[in-house]
Amino acid sequence: MTTVDQIAPPKRRRFVSLTLWVGLALVTLHIITGLLTLVWTPYDPAGMTGGRLEAPSLLHWAGTDRLGRDFLTQIMIGSRIALIVGTGAVAIGAVIGVTLGLLAAFASKLLDDALAATLDILIAFPTLLIAMLVVAAADTANLGSAIFALGIALSAIVARLTRILTKRVLLMDYITAARTSGTSWLGVVFRHILPNIWPTLSVSFALQFGLAVIAEASLSYLGLGAPPPNASWGRLLQEAQGTVYTAPIGAIAPGLALVSLVIGINLLADGLRDTIDPTRRAR
């Protein structure tokens, strides 16, 4: 048989995403900084190595805090804490949320409606409020309870999105084709549903990561996050609020660090989605 429909040759072009590279650069900077603090910091994080509220100098590049501790060291350790919190919370939220969302999408109408209503109620509460409730229930404020609390709070958002995306994919003929080809439901989930909802989920995870970092900073600001001597950016901001006019670097530096990490993660997710998704790559 001859080939009747002419097939255009594949368009192979190098795909370069600026957002990917900018995001990758910002996130890599934070990761390197976070890892570096495990083995080296400019000064002892708890050591009072300078005068109180010193301005930036060659000795202390970002100045010192009100106790005379090197501020750059605190910011660097803050990177590590933010990455741990973001990764941990998103991982917990993703595992719980994706599982719940898939179950809801496959469940009977009654169970699906019940799960959807529960998720809607949970989402109606601000993430930070849920996290505060979980931390309060845990009785002690520490980094672990903050990560767990944020993970639980984020899981409702992830579950709702996963449910909606999965239901949409389940309507596609390629799912029926997979079933009639003998693919099990588990195979359908791993071969068809997760790859097709992943691009949207990954962007959501990036947003959740940013949300978790900001929420952890807020919890720390309120004294419910990482306790001292953990140099969380939220705690640094809280400590700097009394000296914001006399030593503004104390408020600006952790704020900039926080913003750069959140923007970096979002750009990285956007760029990765564009690079991984074959349908977007061709545009």
Partner 1 sequence: MSLLKLDNVSFGYSSTKTVLDGVSLDIQPGDSIGLVGESGSGKSTLLRLLLGLTRPNSGSISFKGAALDPRNAAFMRAYRRQVQVVFQDPYSSLDPRQTVLSIVAEPLRSLKIAGDHRQMVIDALVSVGLEPDILTRYPHEFSGGQRQRIAIARAIVAGPELLLADEAVSALDLSTRIRIVELLKQLSAKMTLVFVSHDIGVVAALCEKIVILEQGRIVEAGATRPILTNPQHPYTQRLLSSVPRMPA
Binding site for partner 1 (CB under 8 A): 1-5, 7-8, 10-11, 172-174, 176-184, 187, 191-192, 195-196, 277-279, 282
As a whole number of Å, the end-to-end CA separation of the chain is 33
246 vs 158: CA distance, rounded Å: 42
Q: b or e along 48-65 (b: 16 or more beta carbons within 10 Å of the residue's beta carbon)?
A: ebbeebbeeeeebebbbb
CA distances from 158 to 163, 209, 220 (A): 9, 12, 24
Query: Is the dihedral angle over the CA atoms 103, 108, 109, 115 positive or is it negative?
Result: negative
The CB-of-1 to partner 1 minimum distance in angstroms stands at: 5
Radius of gyration from C-alpha coordinates of the chain: 23
Residues ≥6 apart with Cβ < 8 Å to 229: 45, 46
Say which residue the tokens 């009977």 belong to: 108
* Of residues 159 and 178, the one with the C-beta less far from partner 1: 178
* Of residues 10 and 40, the one with the C-beta less far from partner 1: 10
The CB-of-268 to partner 1 minimum distance in angstroms stands at: 20
* Of residues 28 and 181, the one with the C-beta less far from partner 1: 181
Structure tokens at 129: 């409020």
The CB-of-2 to partner 1 minimum distance in angstroms stands at: 7
The CB-of-199 to partner 1 minimum distance in angstroms stands at: 9
CA distances from 88 to 34, 113, 147, 261 (A): 15, 29, 6, 15
The CB-of-282 to partner 1 minimum distance in angstroms stands at: 6
Three-point CA angle 165, 167, 168, nearest 5° = 65
* Of residues 6 and 246, the one with the C-beta less far from partner 1: 6
75 vs 193: CA distance, rounded Å: 41
* Of residues 39 and 182, the one with the C-beta less far from partner 1: 182
* Of residues 123 and 194, the one with the C-beta less far from partner 1: 194
The CB-of-188 to partner 1 minimum distance in angstroms stands at: 10
* Of residues 136 and 177, the one with the C-beta less far from partner 1: 177
The CB-of-175 to partner 1 minimum distance in angstroms stands at: 9
